[in-house]
Structure 1
Amino acid sequence: MTTIFDGRMGLTFGQIYLMTGGVDWPDVDDARRGQVNGLCGGAQSGRLLLITGLHTGEVGLRVERLDEEPALDDTWEEIVEVSFEPVGPELVLHGLDAGMYVSTELPVVSYRARYSAADMDKGKEVDVVSADEPVVDRYLLQLWPAEPAPDVIRKQTSATASYWHQEH
């Protein structure tokens, strides 16, 4: 396993982006078009859109690259999966209107991306978390090599996730 990022991710409008190969920012609607889940948009090549409960501030985020599919961790309240196709090895990870946090390389193969969340409703309620306050909602993005497959909602418990699943 390779940890790509593990820490606080700054963002606005509840959006985090993972982009490869120098592609433009994902479009919020196009990133999720045709999907059943609304939390992890993977419909545009080379990029992922990650939705959070928190509107503005910092969330806890961990991003991992694995060699094979990890066991499903049912302690997370929300779990969705999408296919992800990098368009180049350069990977950039950052929150909307936040400074770039990660710039690294990712092998160019087909991936499955599992996006897990905890405390989305609390993040939505709090709305803003400043850098000197503890994070409220936490997220995990795991990537492993896999053939493309339709997106899926593995677990959904919060009103915030339900809203986003219906909003795309």
Structure 2
Amino acid sequence: MTDANAQILSLDLRVSYRQAYLVDDTDDAECPGMVDDHPDHPVGILRVEEGSAFLVTGTHTGTVRFDVAVAESEPAPDRDGHEDIVEISIESKSGSFTLHEWGGEAHEIPALAAGPGWYRLRYHAAGMDDGPDGVAEGLAPDRYLLQIWPAPESDPVVVKSASGTHQHWMTAG
């Protein structure tokens, strides 16, 4: 479920080591390595550090369905279509982000609604427990939706948690 006014990018995203990255389009930004979870409000599968976000997938290596929806205001979460939903704040100094595959291609996402400033990321995951530990042949069974909208900085939140994979990452540190 996405806001009718959202700009949406849908793609098949190549992941390795269960990783993808959202990176601010500044000259010094780069894909983060494993980032520590928030110490007081852990969300497990989404971690932010200095304008970059580390996104965890259920599939170890392969291609997953990934949608990015950039909205002007807070969209509704898709509670029925996803088992796990988490939120975290991120600051964009450039006013734009790129979605990166592990060690590979970068994908431009729709322009951020309010330019540089604070945004909220809501990361939805479906089928994380079905993602293979090895290499997925064809499109892997897990899929993801990342919603982005302008919002003041606030604490990370777990909106919904139902998969064993999410529970693992909540305690993995």
The yes-or-no answer on 1:16 pairing with 2:20 is yes
Q: Hey, what's the Cα distance between the residues in 2 that align with 1:18 and 1:86?
A: 11
The 1:68–1:47 alpha-carbon spacing in structure 2 relative to 1, beyond 3 Å, is same
Query: What is aligned with 1:89?
Result: 95
- Counterpart of 2:140 in 1: which secondary structure? coil
For 1:129, the equivalent position in structure 2 comes to 136
Report the CA distance shift for 1:104/1:68 in structure 2 as closer, same or farther (over 3 A).
Answer: closer
Identical aligned residues as a percent: 32
| Distance (whole Å) between structure 1 residues aligned to residue 19 and residue 141 of structure 2 | 15
Moved over 3 A (4+): 103-106
| 1:104, distance to aligned residue in structure 2 (A) | 6.4
Would you say the 8 A contact 1:45–1:87 is kept in 2?
Answer: no
User: 2:55 — aligned with what?
Assistant: 50
Q: Please, which runs of 5 or more residues in structure 1 have no aligned partner? A: none
Q: Higher helix proportion, which one?
A: 1
Matches within 5 A, 1:50-89: 50-75=55-80, 76-89=82-95
- How well do the aligned residues superpose, as a CA RMSD in angstroms? 1.7
Structure 1 residues 103 and 114: CA distance shift in structure 2, 3 A: closer
Aligned length: 162
| CA displacement at 1:138 relative to structure 2 | 0.2
Cα separation, 2, equivalents of 1:19 and 1:87: 11
Normalized against structure 1, the TM-score is what? 0.88
TM-aligned CA deviation for residue 28 of structure 1: 0.9
1:17-36 equivalence runs, <5 A: 17-20=21-24, 21-22=26-27, 23-30=29-36, 32-34=37-39, 35-36=41-42
Question: Are the equivalent residues in 1 in contact too, given 2:35–2:54 (CA < 8 A)?
Answer: no
SS in 2 for 1:73: coil
Counterparts of 1:117-156 in structure 2, within 5 Å, are 117-125=125-133, 127-130=134-137, 133-156=138-161
Counterpart selection for 1:113 from 102, 110, 121: 121
Contact 2:38–2:156 at 8 Å: present in 1 too? no
